[in-house]
Amino acid sequence: RYFTVKQRKHGNYLCPECPMNFTQKANLFSHLRSHSNRRPYVCTICNRTFKYGQNLLKHNTSVHQKDRDYRCPEENCERTFKLSATMRYHWLRFHHTRPFECPLPNCPRRFANRRLMEQHA
């Protein structure tokens, strides 16, 4: 399907399918794949298809890679992981549960990740 690209005066590229807008044309074209059924990236091992190359890389690492190169840094924990992000999630969840303090004065709340803290503040 053919999309036309509209640009606002401030340089934002508007998606013709939804309210999203982007400051760079390349980001808009990447986003347009979310509205399409096209899945050009194919796993050479299991033939699963993906819209984005990054998703294929993540799939190969998490499904087909046998090495578990990331070890939990906690002294008494023997857990290992294929992805550094999974190890970090494990470490935050089970060992260092709430490292992000609320920046608001007189608020004692702490959060497991920055996104939750920013949503609160």
Q: Which tens digits make up the pLDDT trace of 43-58?
A: 999 999 999 999 999 8
- What letter represents residue 66's amino acid? K
Could you read off the pLDDT of 73-111 as tens digits, one per residue? 888 889 998 888 889 888 877 887 677 888 898 888 888
What pLDDT is stored for residue 1 in this prediction?
47
Q: Is the pLDDT confidence value at 7 over 60?
A: no
The domain of 47 spans 39-67
In this structure, the answer to whether residues 63 and 75 fall within a common structural domain is no
* Virtual torsion, Cα 19, 25, 29, 30, nearest 10 deg: -90
In this structure, the answer to whether residues 104 and 74 fall within a common structural domain is yes
First-last CA distance in the chain: 42
What pLDDT is stored for residue 35 in this prediction?
94
Place of tokens 């999974």: 86
22 domain residue, yes or no: yes
| Percentage of the chain lying above the pLDDT 70 cut | 90
| 49-to-57, 60, 111 alpha-carbon distances in Å | 11, 11, 36
- Residues counted in the chain: 121
